[in-house]
A and B are shown apart, each in its own frame.
Chain A
Amino acid sequence: MFEASLNMDLFLFAILPYLSMSIFFLMTIHRYRAQSFTYSSLSSQFLENKAHFWGTVPFHYGILVILAGHVLGFLIPRHLLAWNSRPLRLYVLEVSALIFGLLSLIGLVNIIIRRVTRSKVRINTTPSDWILYGMLVIQLASGVYIAVFYGWGSSWFAASASPYIWSLIKFSPDIGYVVAMPAAVKLHIVSAYMIIAFFPFTRLVHILVTPNPYLWRKPQVVRWNSNRAPRRIR
């Protein structure tokens, strides 16, 4: 019995992450090269313009802040722990994390309600969209649950999850950090790996093509058929 659960943990926390990341890299690159036409955010704002706002805006802003928090906890755990050493600063961090988590969860629920109730949008929703929504609900709901019932996550994430992820990156997975975690946390981690594995097959690929050159390019774009450089004379 004990052995079986250890094998399970080994699979979920030491093998699955590599499996998901392999699928993620291979498939996103393959899809970009073979099917670059399909890299789109597939916006549905055109079909419905009002409920759209109450779903997509809170969801995106919430998830951006939460993801940034996770990345910070992983990159600079020491600084985070130092910040949390004063109770007031810890409370501020915890409460704002919960607020943004709830924001993204509420946004996601609104997105799903809109998808179900507006016939124009519903007809334009694919099976991969529905699966993705299911996965995101699990991910966000478990995240909010952890934030509420297993407090001070910003500290214990920095102390235990960060070294675990580093161990994965160094290709010497140390699952000792996670096997003792409560079930909700394990669910949150496994669900994240599932989303990473499913990522290349969904509309999530739009994250990889967010517009960056736009911020510093010239307003007008001209493409020449030949490589003859247009010259100016005064």
Chain B
Amino acid sequence: MDVRSQIGMMFHLDKCIGCHTCSIACKNIWTDRRGTEYMWWNNVETKPGTGYPTQWEDQEKYRGGWEKDGNDLYLKSTSKKQIVPNIFHNPAQPSMDDYYEPWTYDYQNLFTAPEGNDQPTARPISMVTGEYMDIEAGPNWDDDLGGSPIYARNDPNLKSLTPEQRLQLFSVEQLVLYYFPRICNHCLNPACVASCPSGALYKRGEDGIVLVDQKRCRAWRSCVSACPYKKVYFNWFTGKSEKCILCFPRVETGQAPACFHSCVGRIRYLGVLLYDASRIEEVARADEKDLIEAQRSLILDPNDPRVIDAALAGGVHPSVIESAQQSPIYKFVVDWKIALPPHIEYRTLPMLFYVPPLSPVIATRKDDRLNSVSDDFFHDIESSRVPLKFLSGLFGAGHDGKLRYALKKQKAVRWYRRAVTVGDVDMETAEKILQQADCTKEEAEEIYRLTAMCSFEDRFVIPPANREEAIEMLKEPFEHKQSAGFGFLSGPRRGL
């Protein structure tokens, strides 16, 4: 056992209102520089929809992630034998056209236009070339199903649906959407790290945050192609790849990342997970239908004395273990099993989990009245407006067992809370539903608390960074203080 800690994340899709506050918070802090205008380290997509970059989930087109051939695990388009001959021109690399050309408007013209018969307009100007341009696409072009069905029909997850199911998804009175906010998943088996010819990308040992060493990046660009989630971006101005850094300067000082902090719907949770690093490769090779379970088995119980001993021996700080014991992510992912990884079939083992959305309660029209009663409590999950098949493409590698379990449990918690607070469902029925959903009253109460009544401290259990101890490992602290003073990385000196 090689116990390491990883900052895990969870987004509760049922709570996301699609306001894009997270994206703006991130953009204002990190990506408003030249060369980064087009980047959205955090973005919010509408599903069904094509996302950003357009159709990023179509790995026939973008050729990202890992692929399993027999028992061999290799990078789909960025293995060594593919990168070396293709280093001058990477055939799988997306270009700006796959994202969008960033623009601003010629606002000055509103003030300086000469007097005339028409109102002056602010024409769009490219932020790359500075020339006037026609806007053809944007990072959120199909937001809220805008332009549907033209755009939404291109969602790669729709491939597995029957024509009837697709029709059902897009018929006017049944129309349904949900939001899918995305940041870097800070994977356990990151394809971007594995593909980098310069070794510039790395995973931080202490908290698992995946970063690009800006000084070592040489613009070979294979990380951009390798990441199946398209969450590594190429800065065309500096010639360096950049990606979500999980706001590590904030996390190290005990603050939640900006997108987490600013989330209006309070959908975001963050906490430490302990995992067994020696089993990563084995888990990444698991059969597709077992991948979700295999990834769960990688995450260790932070209260198990054997795990604690192994963690301490492996150098995990006691305060981090303590933090892991409070982790909301562990509860959602392992205890309750209602949070699932996105597109686990890419085999990067993402450490950002999603609670799948319960689609709106389905109702049938009966004599001009809405009727939602059915004998089977979970009837509306099976014939949900968002077909289960569509969701399982995203959260189950096409297998809906784990997804159905998660949705059922959420549904049961709702029925139970309805029995407690509204009273139009009797407790006996609620208990029966809970039982069918593999949930106890206590668990339901806990899920309800952490979902609906959670405070800042409940959602973000941020592990101490223990940077001060890192210095102790390298140098005697007093000696360091006397030679450098606090606050210097390399001490002041005289001469060369």
Contact = CB atoms under 8 A, between A and B. Distances in A.
A127 to B, nearest CB: 16
Contacts of A48: 95
Interface string A33-60: 0001101111111111100110011001
A52 to B, nearest CB: 6
A5 interface: no
Contact of A49 (B93, B131, B220): B93
A180 interface: no
Nearest to B81: A215
A2 interface: no
Interface in B219-258: 219-221, 224, 234, 236-240
B205 A223 contact: yes
What is the size category of the interface that chain A forms with chain B?
35 or more
Contact of B2 (A37, A46, A61, A230): A230
A86 interface: no
A123 B206 contact: no
What is the size category of the interface that chain B forms with chain A?
35 or more
Interface of B is mostly: loop
Given A215-B80, A234-B1, A227 B474 contact: yes
B131 A119 contact: yes
B206 A41 contact: no
B310 A233 contact: yes
Contact of B89 (A57, A226, A231): A57
A225 B218 contact: no
A42, A219, A223: residue with the most chain B Cβ atoms closer than 10 Å = A219
Contacts of A220: 189-190, 193-194, 203, 280
A43 B219 contact: yes
Contacts of A170: none
Contacts of B199: 211, 213-214, 217, 221
B375 interface: no
B271 interface: no
Given A227-B473, A233-B310, A222 B205 contact: yes
B470 interface: yes
Contacts of A61: 88
A171 interface: no
A233 B197 contact: no
A78 to B, nearest CB: 32
B477 interface: no
Interface of A is mostly: loop
Given A53-B89, A231-B315, A221 B202 contact: yes
A110 to B, nearest CB: 12
A120 B97 CA distance: 11
Contacts of B196: 214, 221
A209 B310 CA distance: 40
A124 interface: yes
Contact of B130 (A49, A56, A123, A222): A123
A41 B204 contact: no
Contacts of A206: 218-219
Contacts of B470: 225-226
B278 interface: yes
B218 A209 contact: yes
Contact of B202 (A47, A52, A223, A232): A223
B314 interface: yes
A231 B309 CA distance: 12
B128 A225 contact: no
B201 A232 contact: no
B95 A56 contact: no
B88 A221 contact: no
A147 B296 CA distance: 65
A223 B474 CA distance: 15
A44 B236 contact: yes
Nearest to A56: B88
Contacts of B109: none
Interface of B: 1-2, 4, 80, 84, 87-90, 93-97, 101, 128-131, 189-190, 193-194, 196-199, 201-206, 214-221, 224, 234, 236-240, 278, 280, 310, 313-315, 467, 469-470, 473-474
30 contacts: A40-B240, A41-B219, A41-B220, A45-B93, A46-B95, A46-B224, A46-B234, A47-B95, A49-B97, A57-B89, A120-B101, A123-B128, A123-B129, A124-B237, A211-B197, A211-B220, A215-B80, A215-B84, A221-B193, A221-B196, A222-B202, A223-B203, A224-B205, A225-B204, A225-B467, A226-B469, A231-B314, A232-B2, A232-B314, A233-B313
5 tightest Cβ-Cβ pairs between the two chains A and B: A211-B197, A49-B95, A224-B205, A40-B239, A219-B194
